[in-house]
Amino acid sequence: MPKLITKIDWYILRKLIGTFIYSLAIFLLISVVIDITEKVDDFMTNHLSLREIVVDYYFGFIPHILALLFPLFIFLSVIFFTSKMAYRSEIIAILSAGVSFRRFLRAYWIGAFLFGGILWLANFWVVPNANRIRTTFENKYLHSHDNQNTQFDRSTRIDSFTYVTFGTYDPNYGNGSSFVMQKVKGQEVVFRMRADRAAWDSAAKKWRLDYVTIRTMDGLKETWQSRQDTMIKIALTPKDLVEEKNMQEAMTTPDLRRYIQREAIRGAEGLNTYWVEYYRRTAAAAAVVVLTLIGGIIAAKKVRGGSGLHLAVGIVISASYIIALQFATVFSVKADLNPLLAVWIPNFIFGGLAFYLYRKAPK
């Protein structure tokens, strides 16, 4: 019975893993140095210690930047070491020994699924938790000046029929003014509650309303009453009223799924941004497989330009992939393109390219 993984496969896998780790380490070092130079003034202004900077920020920043460019660095690493093998005629020797080109690509398949699986698991749990560390630090120390005016008007839908509006809301204190809650049946407002002030009671998990007026409409019949204050419990908390920038990136996949389902029940709009993030985490892992195969097929052919030509082609393909992904996601968020289709369009396009290149490659 033939071995599933032979010495040739191990040889290729070692080169793939070694080249990828080496290139990623260099890029990571450059990224951290550039990021430090950009934020050193903020670090010094806030009198942050080395431990706070490393633990509270870079422990979140590093996984974020690694996951962001993981597929592209796999792609460039594959092109680099495969091109070197082709230049030294190693691939010609392997094929001349009776190994088919399909069999030669087995190691690339194994490496692609190995790294794709690592990225998939990281995108589900590790990277979101890292993003939570990073965004918490940035909001506290780096972007705090952007939130000097903390009061804003806020409207939200808490279920299929009920709408809540704050004239102004201060997230620092969990209270607001000009509170209005309306229930709509068909095209008519059947209930309207207004309060001059609304404050969150963290102990009772309820809203305390002051100077309340309540109107109930039933066709031509209308009732009206007023109260000095009252307590109400609704499916709305201060946390729901504050939208953090890129908050979808800081949610684990189960949390993101629950959030989308809850907001969909409320009838919230603009959920395509969250759906794009949800589907992107799997599509990015699939992109590792697609780009690894494209890189292996392109670089396996010995050409006069050597590694330079292969890397140039690789950079063009990488840029094309990024552009295709950006266009698709923008169309999903702004033009209501199906989010699942949007994040998978680049994989379909480049998957077709991989199939075409394989058919044209010398066997």
Which phi and psi angles does 262 have, rounded to 5°?
-65, -45
Residue 149: pLDDT band by 50, 70, 90 thresholds? very low
Q: What is the DSSP string of 92-142?
A: HHHHHTT--HHHHTHHHHHHHHHHHHHHHHIIIIIHHHHHHHHHHHIIIII
Q: What is the token pair recorded at 152? A: 């804003």
What's the average model confidence in pLDDT over 323-334? 83
d(CA 174, CA 348) in angstroms, rounded, equals 47
pLDDT tens per residue, range 154-207? 677 777 788 888 888 887 777 888 899 999 887 788 899 999 999 988 888 899
Task: Please classify residue 271 by burial: count the beta carbons closer than 10 Å to its beta carbon, then call 0-12 exposed, 13-18 middle and 19+ buried.
Answer: middle
Sign of CA dihedral 345, 348, 351, 353: negative
Q: What is the mean pLDDT of the chain?
A: 85
Q: Is the pLDDT at 363 greater than 70, yes or no? A: no
pLDDT attached to residue 244: 66
What's the average model confidence in pLDDT over 312-331? 83
pLDDT tens per residue, range 96-146? 888 888 889 999 999 999 999 999 999 998 999 999 999 888 877 876 555
pLDDT tens per residue, range 82-101? 988 888 888 888 888 888 88
- C-alpha pair distances (Å), 157 with each of 129, 153, 188, 211, 363: 28, 14, 16, 23, 60
Task: Please classify residue 347 by burial: count the beta carbons closer than 10 Å to its beta carbon, then call 0-12 exposed, 13-18 middle and 19+ buried.
Answer: buried
Comparison of pLDDT for 310 and 61, the residue scoring more: 61
d(CA 226, CA 196) in angstroms, rounded, equals 12
Q: Is the pLDDT at 29 greater than 60, yes or no? A: yes
Comparison of pLDDT for 251 and 361, the residue scoring more: 251
pTM for the full predicted model: 0.78
